[in-house]
Structure 1
């Protein structure tokens, strides 16, 4: 068995990728058995399942974008937020890859000091930049612009990933179900004031989490995007580097199917 640090911010990103991919693969296997109804279709749906596993897709994103651990982990929080607001939405082999690249794009811009252009995110994700721009806007609307969550919430997702891993090869010594030892100098400073759990939206109050097994969904007071946020994300979508970074001779296995 492999021991992992108690604090999610200190975990090796390769181990975190294994944990997240394991969770998503199991979720996809379950949801792929659910019949796809016309009313369930979203912008995240592909015509066919991409020819790359979620594990390899996440590794590709980590390799070429230097995504931070918090941005990977908060994708699980976003899944719960979207599933609560869109009861017909399921994370399946047709939606997972597009959801992941949209989540990484949004969280990197919202949480990190440095991030890539949409052109690079699209190239790494195997979709066109125009399509990524549409997915980004759709993603922000579906999460109601709630980009932040507390460190305690992310810690709970992290501990739950370890606890429910299919092979049981990881363990966290001395971890609690929530909280845990949190470092004050993590890579990404999460919002701990506006995002404290308060009175949930009425329609979300009794919903359970898709990812956090047997845990209530933690939600926040509705907060619409500010003018600055709208302007910022519009600018990010249009941003182009004078010399766009090139992904070094890496095949694009998703471009034809996504």
Structure 2
């Protein structure tokens, strides 16, 4: 009848979704983003160094600059921080296989894996808003971003998580390198790891 309240869709229960299926969807999305960015002109990738450095004026920073920790300001304004995630070569393992490997040897909740999308978006927006430099996800950095993000998110969201040496071994990295990636991941998110249920439902 007219005027009757319309039924609303029930919130998506991320915890009830089959983990392997979720990771396939996540891998598909992130691989699409990475390969699309791979096709961008080289100067766009180099924008993380010199070409857009002039866009940021330290004497007249944007309002968001004043909300950041000193350490995050340094990381976001320094191209080397984002280049930390850049591999010399594109990993031979597909992103889907990489995610499934993490799930197999460092099992964690769907919430942790989905949080990666939130954090990647935050990193990109924070960099763009703070210094006018886009954080570009591509095939050279996506695997390192994923293992660093899982390491960070597992510790934040889960009661059970693993040692960095285990995450490093599963991710195919030296422990010292993962430790550095973990720190840079935190800095590029300004240590803001809380994700509201509304924000998670959005993703």
TM-score by length of 1: 0.57
For the aligned residue pairs, the C-alpha RMSD in angstroms reads 1.4
1:61 to 102, 114, 130: 102
| CA distance in 1 between partners of 2:201 and 2:115 (Å) | 10
How many residues get paired?
153
- Segments of structure 2 that go 5 or more residues without pairing to the other structure are 1-10, 50-78, 128-132
Aligned to 1:8: 14
Q: How does 1:35-74 map to 2 (within 5 A)?
A: 35=42, 36-37=45-46, 39=49, 42-74=83-115
Compute the displacement of 1:85 (Å): 1.8
Aligned to 1:28: 34
Deviations along 1:138-185, whole A, 9 cap, x unmatched? Answer: 11111011111111211111xxxxxxxxxxxxxxxxxxxxxxxxxxxx
- Segments of structure 1 that go 5 or more residues without pairing to the other structure are 158-258
Aligned to 1:113: 159
| CA distance in 1 between partners of 2:202 and 2:187 (Å) | 25
Contact 2:155 2:161 in 1 (8 A): yes
Aligned to 1:242: none
2:136 to 49, 68, 90: 90
Compute the displacement of 1:88 (Å): 2.7
More helix by share: 2
Contact 1:49 1:93 in 2 (8 A): yes
Aligned to 2:145: 99
1:123 to 163, 169, 175: 169
1:76 to 96, 117, 139: 117
Deviating beyond 3 angstroms after TM superposition, the runs of 4 or more aligned structure 1 residues are none
Contact 1:8 1:154 in 2 (8 A): no
TM-score by length of 2: 0.72
Secondary structure in structure 1 of the residue aligned to 2:118: helix
Compute the displacement of 1:16 (Å): 0.6
1:147 to 170, 182, 193: 193
Q: How does 1:243-258 map to 2 (within 5 A)?
A: none
Deviations along 1:192-221, whole A, 9 cap, x unmatched? Answer: xxxxxxxxxxxxxxxxxxxxxxxxxxxxxx
